Amino acid sequence: MVLRPPREMGALEAARAIEAGTLTSEALVRSCLERIEARDGALHAFTAVDAQAALRAARAADAGPRRGLLHGLPFAAKDLIDTAELPTAYGSPIYRGHRPRADAACVALAGEQGAVLLGKVATSEFATQTPGATRNPLDLDRTPGGSSSGSAAAVADHMVAVAFGTQTTGSIIRPASYCGIVGYKPTAGLISPAGVKALSPSQDTVGLLAREVADAAFFAFGLHGHAVALACDAPLRIAVCSSRQWAHASAAMVEAVERCALALERAGARLQRIELAPELEVVFELQPAIVAFEARQALAFERLHAAGALSERLSARLAFGAQISPQEYLSMRQAVERARERFAEQFAQFDALLYPAADGEAEVGLDASGSPRFGALWTVLHLPCVCFPAARGPSGLPLGVQMVGRLGDDLRVLAAAEAARRALGDAARPEAAHAA
Amino acid sequence: MVLRPPREMGALEAARAIEAGTLTSEALVRSCLERIEARDGALHAFTAVDAQAALRAARAADAGPRRGLLHGLPFAAKDLIDTAELPTAYGSPIYRGHRPRADAACVALAGEQGAVLLGKVATSEFATQTPGATRNPLDLDRTPGGSSSGSAAAVADHMVAVAFGTQTTGSIIRPASYCGIVGYKPTAGLISPAGVKALSPSQDTVGLLAREVADAAFFAFGLHGHAVALACDAPLRIAVCSSRQWAHASAAMVEAVERCALALERAGARLQRIELAPELEVVFELQPAIVAFEARQALAFERLHAAGALSERLSARLAFGAQISPQEYLSMRQAVERARERFAEQFAQFDALLYPAADGEAEVGLDASGSPRFGALWTVLHLPCVCFPAARGPSGLPLGVQMVGRLGDDLRVLAAAEAARRALGDAARPEAAHAA
């Protein structure tokens, strides 16, 4: 038996080891902290770590009674998410050193179940497209994606097994794809957005980055004190859903979706190719305007009192929001409602659909974070999505595919993603590639 | 010509007078402050007023260039809404003296358009059912309703012409009914919930209390720099929508709805009686559980770190939330989706529907705030609602009726409410009754 450092364990494996008494929270947290110490100077995933506080909490977990399903497990939180004990800057110089009065709901719930806050991880500016300093652990010259850049990089680099992220367009799914890990955007509301800095409240969704589908499911439902099992009873009915957006997907990404579909079919799933309905296609054009209209409101204080500290990219986006009248906004919301109905109709016969998670591999350069477009429709419709690595691209970097399901069908979508992961086998896993 | 104090003006009238130079912001703010000084010792509508700061802002508006549609207009904000310049306690001793870092979106937008923050107005505890100290200006022994208690009382008592409120179940519509004023809950998102303390984020909606429908419309769209006109081109098609909930409405409330319907018919509207579809009826039972599941998350920090400072009523409600599994929650959200589709279908042929705004008149006593039930369905579906006084009850107190419309159809619903208001005439207006 080769001795792995505890940080290599997934969340579920570590939780079981802690419960069985074969692993202490302190040893696990120490192992994570060692990795952060060794690597974060290059990676810049974390924005705040209080090592002593994390170790104290871990020792308290080891010494105290079992508090819940997440007992002793370290986790990280995107710096868009309020924490009372660690500074929360929302990726903006405006909030440098800001200490919120209260923990966000997700952080408080994790603590209630015994989890240990390891630190805060970087977000792009207010979860928009101006990136922070985080690098992709698989290739330090490339973007980890955004806006949940730190969450994805930290998890992919084995600094922590799970991290909270948020998605307003493609901010969980894309970094998961770029970093070769799992991203889970639940049905909006399963994990509360309370205490998360708002960008586009009709879309802002809290989710998780993890290395395994089962870990993301375990942590998301474990927050509520509930254990879950990911099982498919009947053969999966999967739609390979094409749309005009696919024109933006690289050839390798299209192949990755196909590869995943065929692997599922070989494993017994029933596949069908389906073209996205026009009422759904139209949302691709509206969604950025909905974000802009809502962001111009949500960031009104910053826009009015600290305009000089906003990036030019964000300022331009807020100015675009000012071009949209409230009547136009309401009409767009009506179009989204029609799309919601159409989705329920078009996908009633399927357990989930397969879709690209990003245009392609992580791009070279750190001044942009790639397009979030492949997340837009599913986010505005509040649908559960799970991204997992399905193949490698021309540069040997991971390509993620997303499994998308009906509203509230999270467990089915997670089970379908887990089935796809198994069907694809270990070849799609990029962990071996990362610079250790 | 009788000289009215400026505070008697509606928002639109005052905005026009300021623009025309016949009224100064300072005179208007001073008039409001005088009323607060004279009456708030008995009413307890305000939780924070900085008279000098409000007068300074008013004088700056009078001296400076015109900033926007709301130039010089005073407004109040429910104390669930963050303000950087005034303490924000969310109706809880836990946050006594709390000073948020930033203004909520709605407060910042009002300021951007030149409006003057007059003060903060009371909310029940975290917008739930444990009331604050506010009394009903029409009868000081009665509740003003909740949770936007201070907003409704202040507006009804002519302390201010418009106040922001929020609604998660019935928290704008019911206090508007009890205080005999107008309550406007827009399509969720038209006024951003950013910077508002979350209770049930899938439902929390920011809206307005005002004395006139036109004032509420003016302020809500004016926040975005847009003027609106409330006009009905064709005869209104109105559904009088009955449901099992009507069993909770007093005979006088049922009569008030009927009276409003007949007045509309006499004015040329086409009426139809319609029974709410079963897929919509089922939501009445689910909605309180959705609130509880989401509130248990949203208030997790307070529950874990300051449980002793929560009211027993709220603690019990959060404990109820703990009984709901995440899977049950997701199933309830699916039921809401089906209801959304059914609503679109059932009411496709109507401009709006008429519905009671509350069980009946404001109840005697200040330890409860009445049932929010008549708002539940429309809030969870994110639909625009306008409450306006339609009759008086057995005690001579107002009975509000609400006009509810399709998602995004705010201007149509506002126009229908304004048409109803005109059709009903002045007899339904309770202002004359209030203790001046």
Q: Do B105 and A327 touch (CB under 8 A)?
A: no
User: For position A3, what pLDDT does the model report?
Assistant: 80
**B185 catalytically annotated:** no
* A363-379 pLDDT tens trace: 999 999 999 999 999 99
Question: Number of A:B CB contacts under 8 A?
Answer: 157
> How many Å separate Cα A239 from the centre of its chain?
23
Q: Which of A166, A195, A145 is nearest to A45 (CA)?
A: A145
Question: Is the backbone peptide bond immediately before B124 cis, with ω within 30 degrees of 0?
Answer: no
For A25, A143, A382, B384, the CA distances from B190, given in Å and listed in that order, are 46, 35, 18, 10
Contacts of residue A117, defined as CB under 8 A and 6 or more positions apart, other chains included, come to: A54, A57, A74, A75, A76, A77, A83, A85, A86, A107, A110, A111
Q: Which of residues 91-130 of B touch A (CB under 8 A)?
A: 95, 98, 101-106, 108-109, 111-112
List the structure tokens of A25: 């929270």
Contact between B333 and B202 under an 8 Å Cβ cutoff? The reply is: yes
Q: Which of residues 14-43 of B touch A (CB under 8 A)?
A: none
List the structure tokens of B245: 């909930």
DSSP 8-state class, residue B277 = P
User: For position B233, what pLDDT does the model report?
Assistant: 81
Contact between B113 and B222 under an 8 Å Cβ cutoff? The reply is: yes
Chain B residues in contact with A225 by the CB 8 A cut-off are 322
Average pLDDT over residues A397-424: 97
Average pLDDT, whole number, for chain A?
96
Contact between A293 and A318 under an 8 Å Cβ cutoff? The reply is: no
Please tell me which of the candidates B101, B298, B341 has its beta carbon nearest to residue A194.
Answer: B298
Sheet holding B116-121, edge to edge: B46-49, B116-121, B74-78, B162-167, B205-210, B182-185, B385-392, B398-404, B352-356, B237-242, B270-275
HSE (side-chain half, CA atoms, 13 Å) at B88: 23
* Set A31, A171, A177, A200: catalytic member: A171
Q: Do B340 and A340 touch (CB under 8 A)?
A: yes
Pairing assessment for the beta strands A237-242 and A270-275 based on DSSP bridges: parallel
Contact between A261 and A242 under an 8 Å Cβ cutoff? The reply is: no
List the single residue in A with minimal CA-CA distance to B84. A301
CA distance linking residue A156 with residue A388, whole number of Å = 12
Our CA-based measurement puts residue A402 at a distance from the nearest CA of chain B, in whole angstroms, of: 20
List the structure tokens of B267: 């004015």
pLDDT at A433 over 90: no
List the structure tokens of A169: 């367009």
Task: Report the C-alpha dihedral over residues A375, A376, A379, A383, rounded to 10 degrees.
Answer: -70
pLDDT band of residue A265 (cuts 50, 70, 90) is: very high
Q: Which of residues 141-160 of B touch A (CB under 8 A)?
A: none
Contact between B400 and B389 under an 8 Å Cβ cutoff? The reply is: yes
pLDDT along chain B (436 residues), means of 10: 87 98 98 98 98 98 97 98 98 98 98 98 97 97 98 98 98 98 98 98 98 98 97 92 98 98 97 97 97 98 98 98 98 98 96 98 95 98 98 97 98 98 81 44
> Reduced to 3 DSSP states, what percent helix, strand and coil does chain B have, rounded to the nearest 5?
45, 15, 40
Contact between A397 and A180 under an 8 Å Cβ cutoff? The reply is: yes
Our CA-based measurement puts residue B297 at a distance from the nearest CA of chain A, in whole angstroms, of: 5
Q: Which of B202, B198, B163 is nearest to B184 (CA)?
A: B163
Contacts of residue A72, defined as CB under 8 A and 6 or more positions apart, other chains included, come to: A14, A15, A18, A24, A25, A28, A58, A61, A62, A114, A115, A116
Please tell me which of the candidates B300, B334, B410 has its beta carbon nearest to residue A407.
Answer: B334
Our CA-based measurement puts residue B408 at a distance from the nearest CA of chain A, in whole angstroms, of: 5
Euclidean distance between the first and final Cα of chain A, in Å?
A: 20
HSE (side-chain half, CA atoms, 13 Å) at B379: 31
**A78 catalytically annotated:** yes
List the single residue in A with minimal CA-CA distance to B407. A334
Q: Which of residues 53-92 of B touch A (CB under 8 A)?
A: 84
CA distance linking residue B341 with residue B433, whole number of Å = 43
Q: Do A325 and B226 touch (CB under 8 A)?
A: yes
Please tell me which of the candidates B195, B304, B337 has its beta carbon nearest to residue A344.
Answer: B337
Look at the block and give the residue holding tokens 């509206």.
A286
User: For position A232, what pLDDT does the model report?
Assistant: 81
Give the phi and the psi of residue A67 in degrees, each rounded to 5: -95, -25
Write the DSSP assignment of A24-55 as a string of letters: -HHHHHHHHHHHHHHHHHHH--EEEE-HHHHH
DSSP 8-state class, residue A335 = H
User: For position B426, what pLDDT does the model report?
Assistant: 74
Please tell me which of the candidates B190, B298, B300 has its beta carbon nearest to residue A330.
Answer: B190
Contacts of residue B431, defined as CB under 8 A and 6 or more positions apart, other chains included, come to: B180, B211
What's this model's pTM, rounded to 2 decimal places? 0.97
* Set B124, B147, B177, B243: catalytic member: B147
Judged on CB neighbours under 10 Å (0-12, 13-18, 19+), A246 is middle
Please tell me which of the candidates A187, A201, A334 has its beta carbon nearest to residue B330.
Answer: A187
DSSP 8-state class, residue A324 = S
Please tell me which of the candidates B225, B337, B408 has its beta carbon nearest to residue A331.
Answer: B408
Which stretch of DSSP H or E encloses residue B214? helix B213-222
> How many residues in total does chain B contain?
436
Our CA-based measurement puts residue A221 at a distance from the nearest CA of chain B, in whole angstroms, of: 7
Write the DSSP assignment of A373-427 as a string of letters: HHHHHHHHTT--EEEEEEEE-TTS-EEEEEEE--TT-HHHHHHHHHHHHHHH-GG
**B171 catalytically annotated:** yes
The reply to whether B224 touches chain A by the CB within 8 Å rule is yes
Residue A284 DSSP SS3: helix
Q: Do B297 and A191 touch (CB under 8 A)?
A: yes
Q: Which of B239, B275, B215 is nearest to B418 (CA)?
A: B215
Q: Which of B198, B204, B380, B169 is nearest to B298 (CA)?
A: B198
Q: Do A300 and B406 touch (CB under 8 A)?
A: no
Contact between B81 and B111 under an 8 Å Cβ cutoff? The reply is: no
Look at the block and give the residue holding tokens 């009456």.
B39
The reply to whether A301 touches chain B by the CB within 8 Å rule is yes
CA distance linking residue B242 with residue B279, whole number of Å = 14
Average pLDDT over residues A292-301: 98
- The angle that helices B283-298 and B326-346 make with each other, rounded to 10 degrees, is 130
Chain B residues in contact with A305 by the CB 8 A cut-off are 102
Question: Is residue A174 left, alpha or beta, with left meaning phi > 0 and alpha meaning psi from -120 to 50?
Answer: alpha
Contact between B123 and B147 under an 8 Å Cβ cutoff? The reply is: yes
The reply to whether A316 touches chain B by the CB within 8 Å rule is no
Chain A residues in contact with B221 by the CB 8 A cut-off are 326
